[in-house]
Amino acid sequence: MKLVIGRDDLAAAALSAAREAGAEPERVGIKPVHKASRGFVNRSDADLCELAIVTVLQAAAHGKPVLLLPVTTLGRHQHQTLVTLGGLSVADVEGHRVGVRAWSQTTGVWVRGFLTEQYGVDLHKADWTTYEGHHVEGAEDPSWVTRAPEGRKLPADFLDGRVDFGIMGNELPSDDRIRTAVDHAHDVAEQWSKDHGFIPVNHVIGVSEAAAAEHSAAVLAAYDAMRAVLTAKEEGGPVALHPVGFEALRAAFTKAAAYALEQDVIPRAVDYDELVERTCAALGVPPARLGG
């Protein structure tokens, strides 16, 4: 039973619990963890794998054998990830060049959703550039998005001025010229989460259908162990940074799915209950067993 989980504490808890449940788990170290997504989604290279939530949605929309285990491994605010070098602001996105690593990158999906809902941006009026393809085979960029030439990278293009805005999380370069396009971005992000009642979740845990059927006890034990770790470390606040359980993740998934459909990231609507039902059917448990 192969596990790809980025956080050491969650990986250790999942490994121990799966072992006690009778499995023979092995942690596969892939860094950054998103590089494991393609093999997991398309070839079932692992049994449990940390995934971006948009990858889960794309996998469902394209009929891949991927299930959701409702554990948040990475939750964070997103407004601060839209950056620029000059005097431009979020009001200037239309008519300018915007770079994002991949069209299906979850951070990009969240930010584009904020642009349309909060700032009235028409996404078709910006000049979008992507640098990588999708984790899910069969997914393609929309016709109104341009792929950068082979070998080019977003951080370099951004610093060199080939794009006016960049959407970057962990790949954000260190440069004193960089500023957030949204004024007081962290305050805006916190208020957005308070208003909506949830954090814009990035990463959760995916389970292969085969693993759910063959190792259901180990998968459930791993869920319980990771939930215990996150619950113990959760800081107080208006919204949970690492929600666990189907109901705790419903709002974030539902909003992300709506954004993804509007942005041509997924070819069809994905209802959250579809994800819940598929996981529960494979594991042979009611939704309440997984917090829903």
The pLDDT tens digits for 1-23 are 999 999 999 999 999 999 999 99
Assess whether pLDDT exceeds 90 at residue 93: yes
Q: Residue 22 CB: number of other CB atoms within 10 A? A: 10
User: Facing residues of 205 across strands?
Assistant: 50, 69
What are the tens digits of pLDDT across the range 245-258?
A: 999 999 999 999 99
How does residue 107 score in pLDDT terms, banded at 50, 70 and 90? very high
Q: Do the Cβ atoms of 272 and 253 come closer than 8 Å?
A: yes
What's the N-to-C CA distance of the chain in angstroms? 26
The percent of residues in the chain predicted with pLDDT above 70, rounded, is 100
Token pair 């494991």: residue:
36
How does residue 228 score in pLDDT terms, banded at 50, 70 and 90? very high
Stretch 175-202: mean pLDDT, rounded? 95
**Cα torsion through 172, 97, 76, 121, rounded to 10:** 160
How does residue 211 score in pLDDT terms, banded at 50, 70 and 90? very high
Contact residues for 182 (Cβ-Cβ < 8 A; gap 6+):
79, 80, 82, 89, 90, 188
Q: Do the Cβ atoms of 70 and 290 come closer than 8 Å?
A: yes
**Cα torsion through 190, 191, 192, 195, rounded to 10:** 130
Write down the mean pLDDT value for the chain: 96
Assess whether pLDDT exceeds 80 at residue 237: no
Stretch 150-174: mean pLDDT, rounded? 94
pTM of the model: 0.96
Stretch 253-267: mean pLDDT, rounded? 98
